[in-house]
Chains A and B, each alone.
Chain A
Amino acid sequence: MTKEFTIFSLALKNLKRKPLRTGILIVAIGLLVSVLVFALSFVRRVDSSIRITSDRLGSDLLIVPTGSRGAAEDVLLENKVKSFYMDKGIIDRVKNIKGIDRLTYQTYLVTITGVCCDVPETIVVAFNQDTDFVIKPWLTKKLGRELKKGEAIVGSESAFNIRLGLTEVDSVLFGSIFKMVGVLDKTGTGLDTAIFIDDKNIDEILQKGKANIKPGQISVIFAKVRKGYDPYEVAGSIEDSIIEADTVARKDIGKGLINTLRDINRIFSATVMLASILSIFLVWAVFSAIANERAKEVGIMRAIGAKENHVVKIFFLEVFVIGSIGSILGIISGTVLSLLLAKTFIILKNLSNDLSIAERISIGILSLFAGTGICVVGALLPIQRIKKLEPLLAIKEE
């Protein structure tokens, strides 16, 4: 069967006539879109990771030892292995602050392979199951019951879990044997790499003396604020009355990262903006040359009945093909780049959340529109000029 000859096939033939030129345009758009995809993936990943973590922790305020705000964020956002402690008595003092509704606390213990424990270096989170509202929803979902003394459950991305393909094994933690009873679902927080035990195990751990913790110490208090109270005001009251503690409101979790991110965002925006302007100029220059080159052909087409909108359609189809192929290549290379380079950026490496498929698709669609749109903007003036060509003048330019 013969292939139908259409305006689209004419546009494709036009693109094929100078493959190198078409290729250069496609590569230029591809590079631009690649940078755009990479920048968006980077910024969105950090941003959404912070948002998800602060939402999933389920508390309005975090109360940590004075000066340990950064360390707490490192643990909660970036999977870093750090420990920090304050006096357990602070819990009662916080309880008395006006506006506090519920409280729970966690104690972070750092494992040292071969010294205290037979697991790779990680954080062991001791939490109080009676008051907890941070881990419990995940625990209930996975285990359907509370953890018993001597039992532990590991985070979805725990190195321990990944290395051993853990189901039910016994492990030594701080000199005591713990039975690993399962793996939590992904929480999307930095705690996904941790091991969780009940707070009741702390006394035995202290007795064995293999953990770097003193009696009566905890790491962090999670607090919910009563309805109608402003978390910032409550945080202020805590800091005013408890000098040994710093507070972080939910919306301020990762504030340091967000500020760094803003600067990175500005750098990316400026780079993408300059690359876009450069691409627009490139497309404009190439299509101006194409318009001059094809003036006679357009004159012939106009003389045999092509309307202005036919000419516009032919050129825009070429622009769309270049824009969309370039954008698709850019989306693929930008995504691959963002996945490969994620391991080389410390800020990304330590984040527990990767972008979801939906987020990657939305970045892809946005970049496709941007790449094609830049092509259209660049080609607009040359196309406007050529559609207005007098057919006779064009034909006579032999």
Chain B
Amino acid sequence: MSQIEIADISKIYTIGDLNIRAVDNVSLKIEKGEFLSVVGHSGSGKTTLISIIGGIIRPTSGRVLFEGSDISSLNDEKLSEYRNEKIGFMFQFASLLPILTAKENVLLPGIFSPKEKSGAAGKAEEYLNMVGIGEKTNAYPSQLSGGQQRRVAIARALMNEPEVILADEPTGDLDEETEAEIMELFKRLNREKKVTFIFITHNLDLARQAQKQIRMTHGVIKEI
């Protein structure tokens, strides 16, 4: 059984009289611990695809199985639990809450989790150390560089020990050096923690570093 199995999913957005097929009848299997990149032009359906996998949006049709369970049939509460416990998200921008320190941002998924919270502060510090900004735990996002903000977002994505990390252009606005550092970090985490990584990128060099690459065009997977 694959960790994630997508069967014939489509996502149609309706704007006025217009129906836009963001994802069109896509099927895909992803194994546990895979390191996968998704490439494609803007509007090709990459973000919609990983949002469906992450349970942020529901497909118009088709099924998404996570370890055999159909997540597209879950109610809002169960879907939130799925996002909280199984998935770690990194968005196009660092997406940190500006009023929270680096450490509090990392602790954020934990406050929505029903799991025991003792030791959460120590764990957040541990993850911030792991991503290389242990000395910035009390800094606010505005006091951090773009690369440092990304690292906080990675630590936040890891906080609830997810099985899958979904990253939407995680290095989009970073310089090459920082981009390389972040990719190395991803690979290390994938190797050491056996976390499945699915990341969207426009950078083909980065995409090639993944074990498996997916190319999307007009909502359809063209190549694997």
Contact = CB atoms under 8 A, between A and B. Distances in A.
Interface of A: 2, 4-7, 10, 13-14, 16-17, 296-297, 300-308, 310, 390-392, 395-396, 398
Contacts of B77: 307-308
B57 A390 contact: yes
Contacts of B99: 13-14, 16-17
Given A5-B104, A5-B107, A392-B57, A305 B84 contact: yes
Contacts of A392: 47, 51, 56-57
B80 A306 contact: yes
Given A310-B112, A395-B95, 5 more contacts: A5-B110, A5-B111, A13-B100, A14-B99, A391-B56
Contacts of B160: 305
Given A5-B111, A301-B112, A305-B109, A398 B92 contact: yes
Interface in B151-182: 156, 160
Give the one of B97, B121, B160 with max A CB within 10 A: B97
A305 B111 CA distance: 9
A301 B100 CA distance: 13
B64 to A, nearest CB: 15
A398 B100 contact: no
Contact of B56 (A2, A17, A303): A303
A92 to B, nearest CB: 84
Given A5-B111, A10-B111, A390-B57, A305 B97 contact: no
12 contacts: A5-B103, A5-B110, A10-B111, A302-B56, A303-B54, A304-B112, A305-B112, A305-B113, A307-B77, A308-B77, A308-B80, A392-B56
Chain B binding surface SS class: helix
Q: Which 4 A-B pairs have the closest CB atoms?
A: A305-B84, A307-B80, A5-B107, A305-B112
Contacts of A310: 80, 111-112
Contacts of B56: 302-303, 391-392
Contacts of B76: 307-308
Contacts of B81: 305, 307
A304 B100 contact: no
B50 to A, nearest CB: 10
B136 interface: no
Given A17-B99, A398-B93, A304 B111 contact: no
B24 interface: no
B117 interface: yes
A22 to B, nearest CB: 13
B80 A10 contact: no
A137 to B, nearest CB: 63
A87 B213 CA distance: 114
A304 B57 contact: no
B85 interface: yes
Contacts of A303: 54, 56, 83, 89, 91
